[in-house]
Copies of this chain bind each other. A is one copy, B any other.
Amino acid sequence: MTLRIAILGAGRIGQVHARAVGGNPQAKLVAVMDLYDAAAQALAEGYGAEVRSIDAIEAASDVDAVIICTPTDTHADLIERFAKTGKAIFCEKPVDLSAARVRACLETVSETDAKLMIGFNRRFDPHFGALKAAIDSGEIGDVEQVTITSRDPGLPPHEYIGVSGGIFRDMTIHDFDMARFLLSEEIVQVYATASALVDPSIRELGDYDTATVVLTTASGKQATILNSRRATYGYDQRIEVLGSKGMVQAENQRPVSIEVATADGYTRPPLHDFFMTRYVDAYAAELNAFISALNSGEPMSPDGRDGLDALRLADAALQSAKTGQAVALL
């Protein structure tokens, strides 16, 4: 059975999801909504869908699921609204910048028994998936140290930084989710050191561009996250996990794998320079997982609780970076 989907928000990430829907034989894009009508129109046309209002989508009998790609401050409201319609919901992270608001929203989700999946796309990257499978297979024994290197190619616009909730809630949040995913154990302590080395004016916005975060679990497992807003060599996305029996690493990805050797040395091209090319397979697999869970009736994963837990780690990291002290999680 084909899943009939409406996309709310026709911006960059909405386009990513539309492409995934278009390429998936089990899904069909039915409707697109965006406050900016031309954007909605352009996206809808490309996939044979209609432009509709939120109200129309809410009322539609030919829409089984919504993909929420609107600005962050609308996510919680939209989740609550569509939870009550019985439509399945896929929502981009984060649910909200306030943990309290997220909790309230998840209560509605729980009361309405709504299906909600949160867009932590990296869990579905084939390389990170193979790394997780290697852990689960027991090959490397018990997990002891996780290292996540996660660096953006360049700074986002200052306007974005103003509304993003800061580096920990906007960028590191993916890494918090990944750390939780790989550690499979409660995190009890968070330490972060952060600075504005790339662009000092970011400090004036109350944010950072360079951060190192250490997470410790109850049994003493450790995870380190290395963030920077600027990696001149591309979108640096690596994971390494040390276990009692060995180590597994997921390497960086580049568009083409050639190497040129001259008197100056051996040179490979830079990495992908954009999350959309780097994670194109992950977005496709994420949609598949959403559809599979709906078809099978199994629980969504990652779900709203995963979204909340990643946000709590982000809040703790921010507190730690500000105070210079580690933060205990209760």
Contacts and interface: CB of A to CB of B under 8 A. Distances in A.
Given A126-B256, A228-B144, A255-B126, A233 B261 contact: yes
B259 A226 contact: no
A276 to B, nearest CB: 16
Interface stretch (A51-59, A77-85, A96-104, A242-250): A242-250
A268 B151 CA distance: 21
B220 A197 contact: yes
Interface in A110-140: 126-127, 129-131, 134, 139-140
B224 A263 contact: no
Interface in A269-310: 269-270
Contacts of A16: none
A261 B246 contact: yes
Contacts of A328: 324
A266 B264 contact: no
Interface string A213-224: 010100111101
A13 interface: no
B257 A251 contact: yes
How large, as a class, is the contact surface on chain A?
35 or more
A75 interface: no
A156 interface: no
A2 interface: no
A325 interface: yes
Contacts of A191: 191, 193, 214, 326
A172 interface: no
Contacts of A127: 256-258
A196 B221 CA distance: 9
A242 B231 contact: yes
A212 interface: yes
Contacts of A147: 147, 149, 226
A261 B270 contact: yes
B222 A140 contact: no
B228 A242 contact: yes
Contacts of A267: 264-268
A270 to B, nearest CB: 5
A170 to B, nearest CB: 19
Given A147-B226, A189-B193, A139 B260 contact: yes
A248 B260 contact: yes
A253 interface: yes
Interface centre among A129, A149, A242, A326 (most CB of B within 10 A): A242
Contact of A250 (B134, B258, B326): B258
Contacts of A134: 258, 260
11 contacts: A144-B228, A147-B147, A147-B226, A195-B219, A195-B222, A196-B220, A210-B220, A231-B242, A231-B247, A233-B266, A249-B258
Interface of A: 23, 25, 46, 126-127, 129-131, 134, 139-140, 142, 144-145, 147, 149, 151, 189, 191, 193-198, 210-212, 214, 216, 219-222, 224, 226, 228, 230-234, 236, 242, 244-251, 253, 255-270, 324-326, 328
